[in-house]
Amino acid sequence: MEHPAVRKAAFRLIPFLFFLYVIAYIDRVNVGFAKLEMKEVSWFSDAIFASGAGIFFFGYFLFEVPSNLILRKVGARLWITRIMITWGLISAMMALSNSVLTFYFFRFMLGVAEAGFFPGVLLYLTFWFTRQERARVVALFMTANAVALTFGGPLSGWILDKAKDLPALAPWQWLFVLEGIPAALIGFVVLLYLPNGPKDAKWLSKEERQVIEERLRVEEEEFGTPTSVEDSHDSAVLKTLLRDPRVWMWCSVYFLLVFGMYGITMWLPQLLKSMSGGNNTLVGQLTAIPYFTAGIAMVANAWHSDKTGERRWHIAVPAIVGSVGLALSGQVFMPLWGSLVCLSVAAAGMWSTLGPFWAVPPQFLRGTYIAAGLAFINSVGNLAGFAGPKLFGKVKADGNDFLPSLLLLASFVMAGGLLAAFVTRKLEKNPTSSDV
């Protein structure tokens, strides 16, 4: 980001997109804190929580690719506005859950509503920044993930404890309402603030817009763009993606990494509640520690990845380190502070893979294929958001010990690191299809 115009764009866009993702992620995972109080509800159980936490990702999976293709056609400003408003309203409506069926329904619809936000932002960033800058830019944006969990945990725990004195609704219902409504309101800010691209950015001078567009044009000429790609039908785009082994390989890597991330994200409040025996506020404060560490690691790893231009080992090494942290965190000889250290290492390892990871797909995806490809990799990988929490809960259901579940997560994250290190390298050396 050497040019002043690029730095100016980053300063105007990244903090705002970062803030949107913080709001989104809090609404996505606050069900883990709601569970602390929902255990008193007659129709609720650990098994229902595990299924409901994960069913979000089925709606997410089904609508991610169509959502990103629509964003490319109608523009980021309008489509991200729609996403923000609908997911905020549905998140608040989670308070209306009064049976297993309604709980599942609202979680599924939340996934439908949010589908396309994350890959849409990744696509949007390609309108502004070159590939040499994207690991840092993506990592800065995605630290919102860690920040949401750092501050969202204490906030959710505090709301649960304070809402016990509020009338009309149960604490878990107040949690969904108070954390959902802001997203819907901020959607209208998106409509006023976010430009569709450099051409629409009134805060850039004509010369600054030309600089940003010229840098991207030169990059496209250097790496090539297939002819008539913009005229491709959506079905043809998907068929091309499905035939590319690199797309499936990165889907697999992401699935394995996300399995560990969401497995720990959804169950961490219960894990720390069991370890500490504290109230909801204390549990929220404890959950902030691993995610704060993860945020620092994300930026540092992405910066070094961009500086060196290396991606695979910046994914593999942190993943392997993170898996070791997970495996050690639940050992019986670990005191609470030792488990927190290990969980912090685990979170730092897993989350710091994200910046370098999302810098890779745009290296072999072009034009319309970027929109569909990013959404497809994200949607397939995020199916682990169902599998991780579900299997974590199923393994734990056989006893009160969290260790077997943590070892399960560690094995998946380790496999993701090894796959990124060795299998993707062979695929890069011997690709079976040309760039799409």
Q: What is the pLDDT of residues 94-130, one digit of tens each?
A: 999 999 999 999 999 998 988 888 888 888 888 888 8
Closest to 123 in 3D by CA, of 333, 378, 308: 378
Greater model confidence, 39 or 428: 39
Return the pLDDT at 34: 86
What is the DSSP-derived secondary structure letter of residue 299?
H
pLDDT tops 90 at residue 176: yes
pLDDT tops 70 at residue 342: yes
Q: Work out the mean pLDDT of the chain and round it to a whole number.
A: 83
For residue 85, CA distances in Å to 159, 174, 337, 354 come to 22, 19, 40, 26
Instruction: Dump pLDDT digits (tens) for 135-168.
Output: 778 777 877 777 777 787 788 888 888 888 888 8
Instruction: Tell me the whole-structure pTM to 2 decimals.
Output: 0.72
Instruction: Dump pLDDT digits (tens) for 289-340.
Output: 888 898 889 889 988 888 888 888 999 999 999 999 988 987 777 788 888 8
Residue 382 has which token pair? Answer: 């995020």
- Give the 3-state secondary structure of residue 395: helix
Residue 210 has which token pair? Answer: 């030309």
Closest to 111 in 3D by CA, of 185, 28, 176: 28
Burial per residue of 65-85, b for 16 or more beta-carbon CB atoms within 10 angstroms, e otherwise = bebbbbbbeebbbebbbbbbb
- Give the 3-state secondary structure of residue 218: helix
Closest to 82 in 3D by CA, of 183, 172, 9, 225: 183
Integer Cα distance of 293 and 304 in angstroms: 17
Instruction: Dump pLDDT digits (tens) for 370-428.
Output: 777 887 888 888 888 888 877 887 777 666 678 888 888 899 999 999 998 886 565 55
Return the pLDDT at 379: 83
Phi, psi of 7 (to 5 degrees): -65, -40
Query: pLDDT grade, residue 232 (50/70/90)?
Result: very low
Return the pLDDT at 235: 65
Return the pLDDT at 144: 78
